[in-house]
């Protein structure tokens, strides 16, 4: 495919771009970046002015078939699975960077970039995983059931944030005291994910957990740095019908208005977000993990999410 003005750009990152409340773990000479395309900058500005306003949520309950293996639903297994997921889909580790913050001026759409830090040290990856994973198992004791615990965390996360999160992807982990039952609540920024894309990442995460528990040969030592070749660019690079600025003018006007609304709206609950944005999705399903047997899934044709396809999906 031909590069576009919105394609990922090799380092260095212009020094004017910074992530609010975050210090880069690598120098600008190791940070890739790209301009936001189409509706992406408006979702980013909505998130900036009203953190959580355009986030997408999905959740999944997991059950282990055997009580003999306490590794099945452990936090360490989840952390290793998320590490593998970043290697497979590096866009989940991208961040929003703004160029106007140092001047004290409020950012506009041209001031926002996606950035990706190329890391090589395991401790840097572990630091990122710790930023992404939130252990909320303590909720289970008060909730009394896994479904109630999931509902509590979904509503808590769906209520928004006091400041812009430094990550565009988070996993909230809940495990029952007997270690036979667990749940994952996954949050993704709509700049990078739509509901289908986030659910696909959750499915991949669950598959990674199964691979790790089964000591699959598919889980090999990860070579960090090569994953940048899997950074997915803007949807314009994959669209069947070429995009033109004229086609997006009506949507731009509507989303500019959404940004203005976001500056003055106080987000209270998950229900409020669903009504106000129609893109904050609470998706929940139960999955039993067959860790006792492992079957290699045949590779299938990759395709892209329908609305804002930042992460390739796999046809099922």
Q: Please state which of the ranges 151-155, 191-195, 250-254 shows the lowest mean pLDDT.
A: 250-254
Q: Please state which of the ranges 1-5, 106-110, 262-266, 284-288 shows the lowest mean pLDDT.
A: 284-288
* pLDDT recorded at residue 67: 58
**Please, which pLDDT band fits residue 249 given cuts at 50, 70 and 90?**
low
**Domains along the sequence of the chain with CATH:** 28-290 (3.30.559.10)
Q: What angle do CA 91, 92, 98 make, to 5 degrees?
A: 75
* pLDDT recorded at residue 173: 97
Q: Pull the structure tokens for residue 83.
A: 């590490």
Whether 32 has a pLDDT exceeding 90, the answer reads yes
Whether 5 has a pLDDT exceeding 80, the answer reads yes
**Please, which pLDDT band fits residue 300 given cuts at 50, 70 and 90?**
very low
Whether 157 has a pLDDT exceeding 60, the answer reads yes
Are 302 and 313 contacting, i.e. CB atoms less than 8 angstroms apart?
A: yes
Whether 84 has a pLDDT exceeding 60, the answer reads yes
* pLDDT recorded at residue 208: 92
> What is the edge-to-edge ordering of all strands in the sheet holding 31-35?
31-35, 112-117, 95-98
The residue among 288 and 50 whose pLDDT is bigger is 50
User: To which residue do tokens 């999160």 refer?
Assistant: 165
Average confidence score pLDDT of the chain: 79
Report the candidate in 151, 139, 146, 163 with the shortest Cα–Cα distance to residue 61: 146
**Please, which pLDDT band fits residue 312 given cuts at 50, 70 and 90?**
very low
Q: Pull the structure tokens for residue 184.
A: 């994952």
Q: What is the mean pLDDT of residues 211-234?
A: 85
**Please, which pLDDT band fits residue 189 given cuts at 50, 70 and 90?**
very high
* pLDDT recorded at residue 313: 31
All residues at 6 or more sequence positions from 122 whose CB lies less than 8 Å from its CB, including other chains = none
């Amino acid at each position: 495919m031909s590069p576009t003005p919105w394609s990922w750009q090799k380092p260095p990152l212009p020094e004017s771009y910074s992530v609010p409340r975050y210090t880069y773990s690598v120098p600008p000479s190791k940070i890739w970046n790209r301009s936001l395309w189409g509706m992406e900058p408006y979702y980013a500005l909505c998130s900036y002015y009203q953190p959580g306003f355009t986030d997408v949520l999905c959740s999944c309950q997991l059950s282990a078939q055997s009580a003999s293996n306490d590794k099945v639903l452990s936090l360490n297994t989840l952390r290793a699975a998320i590490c593998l997921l970043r290697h497979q889909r590096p866009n989940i580790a991208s961040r929003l960077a703004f160029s106007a913050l140092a001047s004290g001026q409020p950012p506009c759409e041209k001031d926002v970039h996606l950035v990706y830090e190329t890391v090589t040290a395991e401790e840097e990856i572990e630091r990122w995983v710790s930023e992404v994973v939130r252990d909320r198992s303590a909720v289970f004791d008060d909730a009394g059931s896994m479904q109630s615990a999931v509902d509590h965390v979904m509503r808590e996360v769906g209520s928004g944030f006091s400041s812009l999160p430094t990550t565009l992807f988070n996993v909230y982990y809940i495990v029952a005291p007997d270690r036979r039952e667990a749940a994952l609540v996954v949050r993704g920024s709509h700049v990078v994910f739509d509901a289908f894309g986030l659910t696909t990442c959750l499915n991949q995460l669950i598959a990674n957990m199964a691979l790790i528990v089964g000591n699959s040969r598919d889980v090999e030592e990860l070579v960090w740095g090569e994953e940048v070749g899997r950074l997915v660019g803007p949807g314009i690079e994959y669209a069947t019908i070429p995009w033109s600025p004229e086609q997006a003018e009506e949507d731009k006007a509507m989303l500019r208005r959404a940004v203005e609304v976001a500056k003055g709206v106080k987000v209270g609950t998950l229900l409020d977000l669903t009504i106000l944005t129609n893109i904050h999705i609470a998706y929940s399903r139960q999955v039993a993990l067959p860790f006792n047997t492992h079957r290699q899934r045949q590779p299938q044709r990759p395709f892209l999410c329908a609305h804002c396809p930042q992460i390739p999906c796999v046809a099922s």
